[in-house]
Chains A and B, each alone.
Chain A
Amino acid sequence: GAGVSQSPRYKVAKRGRDVALRCDSISGHVTLYWYRQTLGQGSEVLTYSQSDAQRDKSGRPSGRFSAERPERSVSTLKIQRTEQGDSAVYLCASSLVSRDRGPYEQYFGPGTRLTVT
């Protein structure tokens, strides 16, 4: 079946503007993570969104970064008031299990390259 997809693949934004990046995960996967990948530096999770059978849970906002879950298999990463330091590749990854069930394989999308000018 289809894997994780992201759109757009490339995004140019002016400093100070808000941007939204989309991730379509694998059907049935519960947790979607957002990572920022910067060349030569380690990547770490920015935020996540999780859904279960009953309801969607909002991802924990981390400063200017937040994740929303408009649909079960869709997550949107919102970056407010972009800064030049936000220029990076943003990867989303989905996991079959909920975050509190412990480490499990994550499947990555191809990434969105964001350039803030």
Chain B
Amino acid sequence: GENVEQHPSTLSVQEGDSAVIKCTYSDSASNYFPWYKQELGKRPQLIIDIRSNVGEKKDQRIAVTLNKTAKHFSLHITETQPEDSAVYFCAVSKGNNDMRFGAGTRLTVKP
């Protein structure tokens, strides 16, 4: 089955710096790669997603890049703010929409 690895498990940055979280996957048939943000005690919320026919997608301070050959994709957050502090999960899916999530990255943005 699909194996999703996410790194780092924790990340601490200074406000205004950039943060990068990377996920690797094993199934080359995977074609949908969403990123979810989960604040403490709250539900995961989709922040950005990318499909396998696109290499990069950007939405304001958030971007996702996909390298299909190497089977990895990354979340980039620029100009981080304290409210970006949360746990971020990558996920991988293919035709049947069953998603497998990474273990999560706890991001702390220090003011």
- Please report A residues at the B interface, Cβ cutoff 8 Å: 3-4, 31, 33, 35, 37, 40-45, 48, 91, 95, 97, 99-111
A20 CB to closest chain B CB (Å) equals 20
B43 CB to closest chain A CB (Å) equals 4
A100 CB to closest chain B CB (Å) equals 7
- Please report B residues at the A interface, Cβ cutoff 8 Å: 4, 6, 9, 31-32, 34, 36, 41-46, 49, 51, 89, 93-104
Structural contact, B100 and A42, CB atoms closer than 8 A: yes
Cross-interface CB contact of A40 among B9, B36, B94, cutoff 8 Å:
B9
Structural contact, B34 and A43, CB atoms closer than 8 A: no
Structural contact, A103 and B44, CB atoms closer than 8 A: no
Q: How far is the CA of A42 from the CA of B24 in the complex (A)?
A: 13
A-B pairs under 8 A by CB, number:
74
User: Cβ of A33: which chain B residues have Cβ within 8 Å of it?
Assistant: 97-99
Q: How far is the CA of A41 from the CA of B89 in the complex (A)?
A: 11
Structural contact, A111 and B97, CB atoms closer than 8 A: no
Structural contact, A35 and B101, CB atoms closer than 8 A: yes
User: Cβ of A105: which chain B residues have Cβ within 8 Å of it?
Assistant: 34, 46, 49
Cross-interface CB contact of A99 among B44, B51, B97, cutoff 8 Å:
B97
Q: How far is the CA of A104 from the CA of B93 in the complex (A)?
A: 9
Structural contact, B98 and A42, CB atoms closer than 8 A: no
CB-nearest residue of chain B relative to A41?
B103
User: Cβ of A95: which chain B residues have Cβ within 8 Å of it?
Assistant: 97
Structural contact, A43 and B101, CB atoms closer than 8 A: yes
Q: How far is the CA of A37 from the CA of B102 in the complex (A)?
A: 10
Structural contact, B96 and A40, CB atoms closer than 8 A: no
Among A3, A31, A42, the most chain B Cβ lie within 10 Å of the Cβ of: A42
Cross-interface CB contact of B96 among A100, A108, A111, cutoff 8 Å:
A100
